[in-house]
A and B are shown apart, each in its own frame.
Chain A
C-alpha cells in the first residue's frame, strides 16, 4: 500500500528561525507528484508547494522550499524566516498512479513570538 509518513506530530520554533518538516512516502511508481498543504486554525487548506517527481530541481515558493530525495523517498519542507502566520497544520501529500491523493497525518507547527 502506498503511504505517506510524517514523523513529527508537533513542532515549535521561534519567529524568524528556519524549520524543516519531514515527510517520507512509499511507492513503486516512477512518476508522481508530491505536495505540502497548510491548514491554519481557521481550517481552510491551501497549497504551499508542489514537486513533480521527474523534475530534479527542488521546488521553491518564496520562503518555502523542499528537499526532494527520490531514491530515499523523502520530501521535506523548509520554512525560512518563519512568521507567526506560518502557525498551522502541515500535510504532506502524494498522488499515486490511480490519481488519488494520499495525505499524511500532519505536523502541527507553532511559531512562537
Chain B
C-alpha cells in the first residue's frame, strides 16, 4: 500500500513569493494534518483537516492557508514568503479525526526561501 506522498520534494522560492505544497493521504484516511519543522526543532502543528473541514489550527499567521479536496488530498498555501518560512513541511494522515490516533507521516517538502 502506498504511504503518504508529498510533492514537490524540494522547492526554492524568493521572499514575497507564494508556494503551494501538496499531500496525498493513505487510501481511506480522511484526516490530514500539516506541520512545519524548522531545522533543529520538532514539528509544529499548522492545520488539521477532516472531511474537507478545518478541525484545528496552530499559531501561524494568516499567510498560511490550506484546503482538503473531495478525494482527501490536501494543499498547504503560504503567501508572501519570509526567510523564516524555510523549513521541512510535513503532512500526516489518519483514518479518524482525533489526533491521538496514530498519524502516518509523509517524507516532507523541503522549502528554502532566499
* A binding-site residues for B, Cβ under 8 Å: 4, 33, 42-47, 50, 52, 91, 93, 95, 98-106
Contact = CB atoms under 8 A, between A and B. Distances in A.
User: B-side binding surface: helix, strand, loop or mixed?
Assistant: loop
Given A43-B108, A44-B107, A103 B90 contact: no
Interface of B: 3, 40-45, 55-56, 58, 88, 90, 92, 98-100, 102-103, 105-108
B40 A102 contact: no
A45 B90 CA distance: 9
8 contacts: A4-B42, A43-B108, A50-B100, A52-B100, A99-B98, A103-B43, A104-B42, A105-B41
Contacts of A105: 40-42
A50 B102 contact: yes
Contacts of B99: 95, 99-101
Nearest to A52: B100
Nearest to B3: A44
Given A44-B105, A45-B90, A106 B42 contact: yes
A104 B100 CA distance: 16
Contacts of B55: 99
Contacts of A43: 88, 107-108
Contacts of B56: 98-100
B61 to A, nearest CB: 17
Contacts of A106: 41-42
Contact of B43 (A50, A52, A91, A98): A91
A109 B98 CA distance: 30
A101 B106 contact: no
B18 to A, nearest CB: 24
